[in-house]
Amino acid sequence: MESQNYSAAEVSVPTVLIDETSKSCDSCARLRTLFRYTYSEEGTFTLEKSELFSSACTYHPHLMRNVFPSRLDEESITSIDVTKRPNELLVSFHAYKDGRKWNSAGQYHSRAFLASKQTSDIAMILDPQWIDTSKLKTWKTTCDTQHSHRGDFRLDSFAKVGPILLIDTHSECLVQADSSMSYVALSYVWGRMPFFKTLKRNLDYLLTPNSLTTIESILKIPRTIKHAMAVVKLLEERYLWVDALCIPQDDEETKHTSFRNMAAIYANASLTIVAAQGSDANFGLRGLKRISESRNYWRLATRFDRESQIVRYQNSHIEAHKSIWASRGWTFQEHLLSSRTLVFVGDTVYWRCLGGFWEEPFNDTCNEASTFGEESNYWQYLLGSKTPNYRTDMYKALGCIICGYNSKELTYPEDVSEAFLGLITRLTEIFPAGFLFGMPLEFFDVFILWQPLNVRRRVPSNSKMCLPSWSWFGWQGALDDSSFMRDFDSENIETILDSDRVVEVIPIMQWFNHITPDAEGTPILSSHYRYRKDFYNTHSKVPPFHWRRHEAVHEPIRTLPSDTSSLRRPRWFYTHEDYPTKKFWYPVALPDSNNMRQSPVSGRFISCHTQRTYLFQAEARINSYNRAYSTIRDAAGIWIGMVALHQDHIAGKKERLEKNNCGESEAGSTYETTSSFYNRIELVAISQGCVDNSQRLSGGFNILCEWNEPERPKDTDMYRFYDVMCIEWEGSIAYRRGVGRVLKEAWERQELEWIDLMLG
């Protein structure tokens, strides 16, 4: 396919007469100079209000209005800073509104670049209707030949696992797949419009050559799939995997096998085409001449001169991140599992891989490696997590992925497990103990402390199916990513004391998993709980294979609080033969520890023997990190902790929380009291925790939302507490309604009752 030739003068973009006044305008001259700076140059100037919209010049006021993505409130704009930083492609525009600089990437902040028809310049003028498809081929060829780490996402353990069926774009039919076939995968949204899918009854026909080009098939196959087939041929590939056609949709066994293999299907694909524009499968891949409908790219450009344009920069991967495609649970894992993506969004296209990020307008030599969203960074981090170093970062990375996924939408809430199954399959290589409803068994005591920000109960369309309340699987919405930044007290304090603060989790009970409430329980073998119990500060048992016990010789450490020293300085520590310099107070599970794998558990119920009491949910707070929670008070009204309740539970107790006062706490953190009402709640202990309470670590610490509460005790070396769960009962089954923390001494002063807790 040949790209169309055109000149800058023929491109249809918004124009304005550049008259003699404009040619002599000082503001226009400064703009022209700044936009013609080379990649390494820098410069800045300010356009005052008198120059912006009331100037005798017709050009730069017109440009200012077109550069910003939405109409400026011209009455309140006082000036605009125009800046070109070194080693950046773009010129930034920051508007001052009522004398204040607005930094948010929205109405008052924009970026633009100069596009020319000269191939040597930073950016080329684009055809407003058609994509230059030669770029797509160049990107793929460059990655194939120059990026040595292209296969980093591919799974050695799944080398022989892949699709069952593929679309043969040469024979125009489905074919049986084998592991030798290179293929492209498609990630897209189905939408609510019904369209043609493979079923058991039409499978034999679709395996017939040219079956996908018959009149009946052409009319029914949605545009996105048809256009993707054409792109595969354009890129000189042959096979395409599309879920709607390559999985018989009424074959439940094959569907589940494919869902389980989703990690391998996307990770082992040569490339994933992402259709991030449009709301359904019939929108298509716009802008492919002789393949699809034209695009509408001209709206971003403004004529600069006869040879060039100023183009408002539309960050393509941010546009993709805001799309319907990015809001869906199924496409979330497809994106993370793909090593290379060709993304169609916002009437343009970009390429993302581990070695490059190329956007259509820019000269490829100017593009820099990039990733799509924070989840991509953490996913790549987890793929490289082969040592026990920085274990808290592993929790944070997994927590970030969970938070990202849980905010996505699913048409059918019960798909929450299937849509995450591909990621679980890959993650099990890193967390060998496995997962239970999205919760890593190895760190079960940490992840059961997940904290909500704004969640609602997932109600499956099948009333017979119920998702567990104790898992985030059972709730859809925003989770507090800081709640995953907890750690066990396994690492030697002397090696981590001067690093970031560690909020420890100390397991206090054994959890069991049950298929039904009456079924016998299977122990959840959290290695930390078991190993801490067996090896912490004792030499009565032989260490596990590959681990060695050593007698600790403690040097005086002035920075250690005395309370911490007595807690964290046992007589023995342990090392693993593969990591001899890393010290632990007891053995831990490592990513390659096959002996850490446990028998599969899959029950929706968990149980433990624990203590409960009744306390009072009091003031509803929002702290300076915008995290909502309520204080916990005892019967005497004394502050003893906090609880973060699920949103549906709060709504049931008080329909609307209205702000009635605002208090200033220590370290400058503002706590808004949105309501004051006392509500008796039932709490059960699920673990203990502690964190250094010293003043040297006070201030911007956001892991514990109650940290700067005025009434929280701050005169001890350690802040010690019980992690608690708020529950409500339906018959003999309890259901999670929130989690929190209660001061250790205060909890132990309450009337405590031992109970057998069964959580559903």
Q: What are phi and psi of 186, to 5 degrees?
A: -115, 130
Is residue 643 a part of any domain in this protein? yes
Domain-ending residue, one of 363, 378, 393: 378
Question: Angle at CA 391, nearest 5°, toward 450 and 719?
Answer: 60
Domain carrying residue 352: 146-296+316-378
Amino acid residing at 65: R
Q: What is the pLDDT of residue 671?
A: 47
Q: Which residues contact 413 (CB under 8 A, 6 or more apart)?
A: 458, 459, 460, 461, 467, 476
Q: What is the pLDDT of residue 676?
A: 59
Q: What is the pLDDT of residue 77?
A: 80
CA–CA separation, 465 and 459 (whole Å): 9
Instruction: Indicate if 260 and 151 belong to the same structural domain.
Output: yes
Domain-ending residue, one of 331, 346, 378: 378
Instruction: Indicate if 157 and 291 belong to the same structural domain.
Output: yes
- Could you tell me how far CA 404 lies from the centroid of its own chain? 3
Is residue 449 a part of any domain in this protein? no
Is residue 528 a part of any domain in this protein? no
The dihedral region occupied by 365, where left means phi > 0, alpha psi between -120 and 50, and beta the remainder, is alpha
Q: Tokens representing 392?
A: 């808290």
- Could you tell me how far CA 750 lies from the centroid of its own chain? 40
| Residue 143: strand, helix, or coil | helix
Is residue 411 a part of any domain in this protein? no
Is residue 483 a part of any domain in this protein? no
Instruction: Indicate if 111 and 168 belong to the same structural domain.
Output: no
Q: Kindly report whether the global pTM for this prediction surpasses the value 0.95.
A: no
* In contact, 721 and 693? CB cutoff 8 Å: no
Q: In the chain, helix, strand, coil percent, each to 5?
A: 30, 30, 45
CA–CA separation, 578 and 392 (whole Å): 20
Domain-ending residue, one of 378, 393, 426: 378
CA–CA separation, 119 and 124 (whole Å): 6
Instruction: Indicate if 226 and 371 belong to the same structural domain.
Output: yes
CA–CA separation, 301 and 113 (whole Å): 10
Instruction: Indicate if 158 and 89 belong to the same structural domain.
Output: no
Transcribe 305-326 into DSSP letters.
Answer: ETTEEEEE---HHHHHHTSTGG
Instruction: Indicate if 620 and 726 belong to the same structural domain.
Output: yes
Instruction: Indicate if 205 and 345 belong to the same structural domain.
Output: yes
CA–CA separation, 468 and 513 (whole Å): 12
Tell me the CA distances in angstroms from 344 to 7, 29, 49, 360, one per residue in order. Answer: 25, 36, 38, 10
CA–CA separation, 379 and 421 (whole Å): 15
Is residue 561 a part of any domain in this protein? no
Is residue 343 a part of any domain in this protein? yes
List the strands of the sheet with 356-359, edge to edge.
173-176, 165-168, 239-241, 183-187, 271-275, 340-345, 348-353, 356-359
Give counts: helices (H), strands (E), the chain: 22, 36
Q: Which residues contact 52 (CB under 8 A, 6 or more apart)?
A: 61, 64, 74, 77, 79, 80
pLDDT along the chain (760 residues), means of 10: 35 44 77 83 86 76 79 75 85 78 59 78 84 94 80 55 93 94 96 91 95 78 96 97 96 89 89 96 96 85 80 80 90 89 93 85 63 60 55 75 92 89 83 89 90 89 80 94 76 47 83 96 81 85 92 58 48 87 79 54 93 95 80 95 79 36 37 65 96 62 81 90 97 97 98 98
* In contact, 165 and 373? CB cutoff 8 Å: no
| Residue 92: strand, helix, or coil | strand
| Residue 500: strand, helix, or coil | coil
Instruction: Indicate if 227 and 357 belong to the same structural domain.
Output: yes
Amino acid residing at 356: G
Per-residue pLDDT tens over the stretch 170-179 = 999 999 999 8
Is residue 737 a part of any domain in this protein? yes
Strand pairing of 661-664 and 670-675?
A: antiparallel
Q: What is the pLDDT of residue 599?
A: 54
Q: Tokens representing 76?
A: 């309140």
Total of domains in the chain: 3
Instruction: Indicate if 351 and 203 belong to the same structural domain.
Output: yes
Instruction: Indicate if 119 and 152 belong to the same structural domain.
Output: no
Instruction: Indicate if 26 and 160 belong to the same structural domain.
Output: no
Tell me the CA distances in angstroms from 674 to 204, 385, 451, 654, 737, one per residue in order. Answer: 63, 42, 19, 11, 20
* In contact, 83 and 100? CB cutoff 8 Å: no
Per-residue pLDDT tens over the stretch 597-644 = 555 678 999 999 999 999 999 998 887 667 889 999 999 999 999 999
Instruction: Indicate if 156 and 24 belong to the same structural domain.
Output: no
In this structure, the chain runs to a length of 760
Which residue shows structure tokens 């970009």?
350
Q: What is the pLDDT of residue 179?
A: 87
Residue 399 parent element (H or E) = helix 391-406
CA–CA separation, 742 and 724 (whole Å): 7
